[in-house]
Every structure is written in C-alpha cells, then in structure tokens.
C-alpha cells in the first residue's frame, strides 16, 4: 500500500505497480496520479509497457505488486465507473454479429447475469453510435467495416457503458482521417463533461495538439503531468533513449520544446 | 422406402438427431473460439474414462459410462489448457500430446476390460467407431434429457457466452468471471461430445462438432441463426447416418454420420450465398471486370487528351488500346471495350476504332481523381 492516504479527487491513482511476464519486468514500480477531467496520453517506445499498464490497472493482467484506486477506492469496487477500449486487432472481426450487437455489449455489465438486453439497451447503444456518426451502420455485419469504422464501434461500445474513466488502447492507430476527427471530437466532449480519458498513443507529433496531460513510460514511469510541463526533449530522450526511430525523429523536431531551465537566468 | 420406420429405427433416429443437434449447436462456440481441435482431444481422451468406468463398476448403464467419459474428457481439456497456460508448449502440441496419450491409455484399458472373465459381452469397442443400432430406449431418454440440459444452459448464459466468444478480455473488464465462464462453456462442449460417443465413436466425434458449425457459418452472419443452423445440420447428418447404418449391414454409424455432415459442409462451402466459393469467384470475376474497364477508360482519356490540341475527334484502334493496356497489364481489352460500349461509355467507330463518349469522359476524369474506383458499371 502507498504511504500517503488515498486521494478521492484523483480519478486514477496507481501506486507501485509492477508487472512481469516470465520473470522479466514489463512495468517496474509505476506510480501514476491522474486528476479528473483530463485527456491523458501514454507514450513510450515499443515494449515500454503502455498496453500492459492499462491492462494491469483493469486487472486484465496479473500484477506482481501495486494497487489501483479509482476516485479513492479500489478498482474492483469502482468497476462500473470505468470503461475499456481494447486494441482493435484483439478480436476476430469475422465473428457473426452486427454493429449494434457489439455496442450493446457495453451494457452487459450493468445488466448483470441472465437478463437479456431489451429496448432500453438498444436505445443506449444507438445513442452511443450516433455520437461517433455510426448510426447508419447499426445493422451492418461487423466484417464489412473498415478499420476506422471498427475502431469507432469499439469506442461506441465503451461509451455505452456511461463510465467516468476511460482507458483506450491505441484508438488512433492506423485509422483514417474521418475516424481520427470523430474520435478526437468525442474525447474532447468527454473531457468537457468532466470525464477522464487515458489513451495509449503512438504519434508523438499530435501529443501537444490532442492531449493536456501525458505520461511517458519505458518500463518505469519517466514523467507524468501536464503536457506543457513534462513533454520535453529531455524527457523524450530518457523515454526513448535514442533507440527508437520514432523517438529519434521526434527529438530532431524543433516544435518540441527544450526542458525549461531550472531557474530563470538573471543577467 | 429405404428406411422402414419401425420402433427401433425411430429410437435410432431420435437419438442421433438429438446428439447431432447438441453437437452442432455447441460446435459453433468451439469453432468461433478456435477450439475445434480441442474437441478432437476431448473425444479421444474420453475413451479411458469409459473403459475405466466399466472396469470399476462392471456396468454398462449409459449414465455410468457417460460420467466416466465426461470426467476423462474434462480432465483432458484441463490438461491441455494448463499445459498451454503454464509451459511454453503451444496449443497444437499440447492437443496432440493429450489426444494420443489418453487415447493410447484408453485402448490399453479397453483391451484389458475385454479380457476380463465374463466381459465378452462388454461391447465397449463400439465406442471406437460408433454404433447406432444398439441405441436403446434408456439411451434415448438419457441423451434427450442430457442434451436438453446442455442446450438450456447454453440459452440461459447466451449473452455471457456470446461476449466470451467475441471478446473475452473485454468481458473480463466488465467484471464477468471469464475463467469460470470458459470452464462452463468447455464443460458443455465436452458434454456434447461425450453424448455422441456411443453412436459416433471417439475417433470421429469431433467431426460432428466442427463440420455442422463450419457449414452453418457459411449461411448467416448472426450467432443465433448460426447456432440453430448448426443444430439442424448436426441433426440431419445424425439421422441420415444412423438410419443408413441401421439399414445397411456392416456400415458403422460414426463414419456414415460424418460423411453426411461432410456433404452438408462441402455444399455450404461451395454454394452458400456471399461466403460460398462459387459466389466469391463470381464476385471476384465481376470486380476484376469492373477494374479492367476502369483501367481502360483511364487509358483512353490519357490517349485522347494527347490529341486534344490537334484533333479532339481522334479515335483509337483496338490495337493501339491493347498496346497501351499492356503497359498497365490489363487483359481482355476487346471484351472490356464491347462492355463499355453497351453501357454507353465508349462509342464504336468504323475501322475498329473507339472513342470515349461524353459520359465516358466524365467517368474517366472521376477515376483519375481517385473517385468511384471499381464503380464502372459492367453488364
């Protein structure tokens, strides 16, 4: 347990999270404090443990140590307030089902055992689809969707959970411009409703434009905080270590500011 | 009439229909969860359970043998899942190991049980390739009730099983006990397999789990319809095979049932609308035809624009168009030209020469802007 008392104002509080597959640590002693109402990107090189961080927070992979609090209470108690968007490639899109069916799955948790989704769940799923501009695809077979449309269906499914905290695994990976636009519009609207959104993100170019909070990860937590403060050249260099082509490229760019001097230089 | 419907044959028909329906329905989940081979391992793994149940109780009561098969089958499935989860052995190897080890043990126990004094009537070897004619009334009742229990459980947990089959990780994030659901679903699949062992036999039973489900997938894009179709296909194959076996001497039931299931499956693979091979070939042909026509239109637009300043009326011969098409690798230039002519996109002039019509020019310019590709109408 953490030494400080849980802070109910934090949407997400992760303490000392450590995860290992086959003895090699994937996440090492990660602390993460995310205030409510921010749009946070998790960035880091391949194999940095970005997806694992989300999965461990949601109990989907077993953590060797650490605890996860949502609004000051353990995650299992707060499950209904959390929604998860897995990577699009994690399911078989040739599964015999329709778009509205998949989105309705977002209501299954609230429905509980044995109850069948009815008119109310259908309406909630349709409302979620509309927010992503996918209402015309409701009865479409999911194998007929483009990658971007699949991604929007996954987001609609999470949206139908009506949660307060959203964890999304690479929702912007490999999607078309229309989808990227629709998703970002949704994320901003979630933020304006006070929701907290955590997004595993690959594209360093858009971090500053899209997000107001960022966590840089490479097995350990390198930095976490407002984009304007921690998305610095120095932190990127630590996170990517010059090994990743993506990181190296970003380091060459001028837009990413240099670390602020610790103290103003007085002439 | 080939099948005289006396009481025995009715028993056989109902029994094999119910086992086929249960296997076809549960098989859909096995197929969608990519566990088809698990069925094979489970059915082979059930053999030592059957033999051991008989050796220990000296009884051939269906419930006794069923329980023995169920326990051994579940054990086989558990071993496979644990080997995959805890070691670095991949699932195909784990399945192969479990299948052969359990089956080998089953054969040894089977031989042993047959050598026991007074056990000459055991007749357990029917569990190898199946026998429909020996189905008795009590077997029928047992299969009907057990089958109803399995199918009812499937309906009761329908929503959960569907979620589990489509996205188990997400199901877990919603708070469903995914591990327990997996165990329950696998137990139902094992039960469906075990129910059919007496009639179909351990060697071929997995085919009755996989084939009807694979056939059903071809005809629908809805899980509920797929499960119903799978059940129907399994029942039909079961009845036809069992009746064939009962009517003609020396035709074992298992192979007959599996052959009927295979016929249904092959027919579905070929002719199901949308997913069937025949349909896909037709669709692909028409898509290629449309793309060839697109390519030709763009070529013609290119060539005609080169003459725009000197002679806007310039038309090109088939030979010239063929030569130009050979660069982009298009086939069947003449066929495409005739086609486009019928659709009013090109005009045929004397001396085997061709020119874009006004609509053809418009359409070709759309294509060069990357719009409407593949949308060239073909007859």
| Full residue range of the structural domain in which residue B295 is found | 279-368
Q: What is the pTM of this model?
A: 0.82
pLDDT category of residue B26 using cuts at 50, 70 and 90: very high
Q: Is residue B340 part of a domain?
A: yes
- Residue where one domain finishes, among candidates B253, B274, B295: B274
Distance separating alpha carbons of residues B231 and B233, to the nearest angstrom: 6
Q: E strand or H helix at B83, and its extent?
A: helix B62-86
What whole-number distance in Å separates Cα of residue B358 and Cα of residue B335?
21
The answer on B138 and B257 residing in a single domain is: yes
In a domain, B231, yes or no: yes
Judge: A102–B162 Cβ closer than 8 Å, yes or no.
no
Return the residue of B nearest to A117 by Cα: B159
Task: Please tell me the distance from the alpha carbon of residue B266 to that of residue B338, in angstroms, as a whole number.
Answer: 37
- At CA B30, angle to CA B29 and CA B31, rounded to 5? 90
CA angle B176, A55, A29 (to 5 degrees): 135
Predicted confidence at residue B121, as pLDDT, reads: 53
Residue B350 burial by Cβ neighbours in a 10 Å radius (0-12, 13-18, 19+)? exposed
Contact between chains at A114 and B175 (C-beta distance less than 8 A) = no
Is residue B26 situated within a structural domain? Answer: yes
Tell me, what's the pLDDT at B327?
A: 65
Contact A60 B176 (CB under 8 A): no
Residue A22, phi-psi category: left (phi > 0), alpha (psi -120 to 50), beta (remainder)? left
Q: pLDDT digits over A170-212, tens only?
A: 999 888 888 899 899 999 999 999 999 999 998 888 888 999 9
The pLDDT of residue B1: 43
Residue A126 has pLDDT above 90, yes or no: yes
B188 and B239 in a common domain: yes
Of the candidates B158, B163, B222, the beta carbon closest to that of A96 is on B222
Q: In this structure, what CATH number is given to the domain that contains residue B308?
A: 1.10.10.10
Whether A105 sits inside 8 A of B173 (CB atoms) is no
Q: Write out pLDDT tens, residues B50-75.
A: 999 988 888 878 788 889 999 999 99
Q: Would you call B220 and A96 a contact, using CB atoms and an 8 Å cutoff?
A: yes
Domain co-membership, B110 together with B257 = yes
What does the alpha-carbon distance between residue B9 and residue B21 come to, in Å, rounded to a whole number? 18
Residues β-bridged to residue A21: A24
Pick from A162, A168, A229: nearest CA to A197:
A168
CA distance B283 to chain A (A): 15
Q: Which residues of B touch chain A, with CB atoms under 8 Å apart?
A: 32, 156-160, 162-163, 165-167, 169-176, 217, 220-223, 225-226
Are the beta carbons of A137 and A186 closer than 8 angstroms?
no
Number of H helices and number of E strands within chain A?
10, 10
Task: Decide if A221 contacts A227 (C-beta within 8 A).
Answer: no
Query: pLDDT tens digits for B141-184?
Result: 888 899 999 999 999 999 999 999 999 999 999 999 999 999 89
CB contact under 8 A, B159 and A95: no
Domain membership flag for residue B378: no
Tell me the pLDDT of chain B averaged across its residues.
Answer: 85
Q: How confident is the model at residue B110 (pLDDT cuts 50, 70, 90)?
A: confident
pLDDT tens digits for B188-202? Answer: 999 999 888 888 888
Residue B23 CB partners (closer than 8 Å, separation 6+)? B192, B193, B195, B196, B205, B208, B209, B212, B234, B238
For residues B95 and B164, the answer to whether their CB atoms sit within 8 Å is no
The answer to whether residues B172 and B285 belong to one domain is no
State whether B313 and B235 are in the same domain: no
pLDDT in tens, A94-117: 999 999 999 999 999 898 888 899
What pLDDT score was predicted for residue A243? Answer: 52
Cβ–Cβ under 8 Å, residues B55 and B117:
no
Contact pairs from chain A to chain B, CB under 8 Å: 68
> B379 lies in a domain?
no
Return the residue in B162, B167, B226 with the most chain A beta carbons within 10 A, the one to mutate for interface testing.
B167
The structural domain count of chain B equals 2
Q: Domain check: are B59 and B166 in the same one?
A: yes
Per the domain annotation, does B375 fall within a domain? no
CB nearest to A91's CB, from B162, B166, B173: B166
Q: Which of A96, A101, A157 to mutate to test the interface with B (most CBs of B within 10 A)?
A: A96
- Are B36 and B128 members of one domain? yes
- Of A64 and B330, the one with more pLDDT: A64
3-state secondary structure of B166: helix
- For A168, the closest chain B residue by CA position comes to B170
Q: Is the dihedral of CA B50, B51, B52, B57 positive or negative?
A: positive
Same domain? For B116 and B188 the reply is yes
In this structure, what is the dihedral angle of CA atoms B68, B70, B76, B79, given to the nearest 10 degrees?
-110
pLDDT-derived band at B117 (thresholds 50, 70, 90) equals low
**What rounded mean pLDDT belongs to chain A?**
85
Tell whether B221 is covered by a domain: yes
Q: Judge if B123 and B241 occupy the same domain.
A: yes
Best probe of the B interface among A93, A97, A141, A159, by most B CBs < 10 A, is A97
Partners of B159 on chain A (C-beta within 8 Å) are 108, 111, 115-117
pLDDT recorded at residue B5: 59
Which residues of chain B neighbour A98 with C-beta distances below 8 Å? 221-222
pLDDT at A242 > cutoff 80: no
Please indicate, yes or no, whether residues B189 and B313 belong to a single structural domain of this protein: no
Please identify, among B255, B274, B293, the residue that sits at the C-terminal boundary of a domain. Answer: B274
Dihedral of CA A97/A103/A104/A108: which sign? positive
Q: Are residues B222 and B341 both part of a single domain?
A: no
Residue of B nearest to A157 (CA): B170
Tokens representing residue A12 in the block? 């997400």
- % of chain B exceeding 70 in pLDDT: 93
Alpha-carbon distance values, A133 to A99, A129, A228, A245, B77 (Å): 13, 6, 32, 35, 44
Looking at residue B122, what is its pLDDT? 57
Mean per-residue pLDDT for B219-223? 93
């Amino acid at each position: 347990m953490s030494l400080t008392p849980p802070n109910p104002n934090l949407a997400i509080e992760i303490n000392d999270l450590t995860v290992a597959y086959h003895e090699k640590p994937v996440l090492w002693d990660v602390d993460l404090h995310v205030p409510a109402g921010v749009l946070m990107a998790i960035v880091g090189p391949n194999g940095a443990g970005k997806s694992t961080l989300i999965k461990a927070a949601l109990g989907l992979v077993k953590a060797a140590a650490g605890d996860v609090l949502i609004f000051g209470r353990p995650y299992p108690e707060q499950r209904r307030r959390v929604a998860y968007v897995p990577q699009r490639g994690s399911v078989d899109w040739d599964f015999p089902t329709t778009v509205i069916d998949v989105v309705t799955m977002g209501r299954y948790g609230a429905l509980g055992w044995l109850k069948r989704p009815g008119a109310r769940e259908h309406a909630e799923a349709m409302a979620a689809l509309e927010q992503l501009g996918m209402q015309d695809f409701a009865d479409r077979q999911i194998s007929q969707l483009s990658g971007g449309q699949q991604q929007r269906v996954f987001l609609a499914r999470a949206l139908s959970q009506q949660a307060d905290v959203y964890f999304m695994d690479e929702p912007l990976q490999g999607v078309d411009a229309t989808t990227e636009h629709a998703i970002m519009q949704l994320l901003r609207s979630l933020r304006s409703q006070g929701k907290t959104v955590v997004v595993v993100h690959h594209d360093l170019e858009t971090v500053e434009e899209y997000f107001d909070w960022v966590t840089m990860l490479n097995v350990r937590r390198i930095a976490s905080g407002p984009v304007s403060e921690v998305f610095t050249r120095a932190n990127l260099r630590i996170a990517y270590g010059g090994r990743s082509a993506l990181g190296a490229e970003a380091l060459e760019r001028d837009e990413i500011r240099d670390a602020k001097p610790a103290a103003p230089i007085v002439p | 009439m080939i099948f005289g419907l006396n009481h025995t044959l009715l028993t056989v028909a109902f029994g094999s229909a119910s086992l086929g329906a249960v296997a076809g329905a549960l098989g859909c989940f096995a197929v969608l969860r990519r566990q088809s081979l698990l069925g094979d391992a489970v059915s082979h793994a059930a053999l030592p359970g059957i033999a051991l149940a008989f050796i220990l109780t000296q009884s051939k009561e269906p419930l006794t043998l069923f329980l023995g098969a169920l326990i051994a089958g579940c054990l086989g499935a558990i071993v496979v899942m644990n080997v995959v989860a805890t070691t670095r052995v991949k699932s195909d190897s784990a399945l192969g190991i479990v299948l052969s080890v359990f089956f080998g043990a089953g054969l040894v126990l089977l031989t042993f049980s047959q050598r026991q004094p007074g056990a000459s009537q055991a007749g357990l070897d029917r569990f190898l390739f199946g026998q429909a004619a020996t189905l008795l009334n009590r077997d029928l009742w047992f299969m009907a009730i057990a089958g109803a229990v399995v199918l009812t459980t499937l309906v009761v947990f329908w929503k959960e099983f569907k979620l589990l089959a489509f996205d188990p990780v997400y199901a877990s994030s919603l708070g469903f006990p995914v591990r327990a659901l997996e165990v329950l679903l696998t137990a139902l699949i094992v039960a469906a397999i075990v129910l059919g062992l007496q009639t179909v036999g351990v060697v071929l039973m997995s085919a009755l789990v996989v084939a009807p489900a694979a056939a059903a997938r071809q005809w629908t894009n809805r899980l509920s319809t797929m499960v119903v179709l799978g059940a129907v296909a399994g029942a039909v194959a079961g009845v036809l095979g069992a009746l064939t076996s009962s009517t003609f001497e020396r035709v074992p039931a298992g192979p007959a049932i599996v052959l009927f299931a295979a016929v249904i499956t092959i027919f579905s693979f070929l002719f199901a609308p949308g997913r069937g091979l025949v349909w896909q070939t037709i669709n692909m042909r028409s898509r290629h035809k449309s793309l060839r026509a697109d390519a030709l239109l763009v070529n013609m637009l290119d060539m005609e624009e080169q003459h725009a300043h000197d002679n806007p009326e310039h038309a090109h011969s088939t030979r010239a168009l063929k030569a130009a098409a050979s660069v982009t690798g298009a086939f069947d230039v003449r066929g495409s030209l005739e086609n486009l002519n019928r659709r009013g996109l090109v005009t045929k002039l004397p001396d085997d020469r061709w020119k874009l019509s006004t609509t053809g020019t418009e359409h070709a310019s759309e294509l060069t802007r990357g719009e409407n590709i593949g949308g060239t109408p073909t007859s």
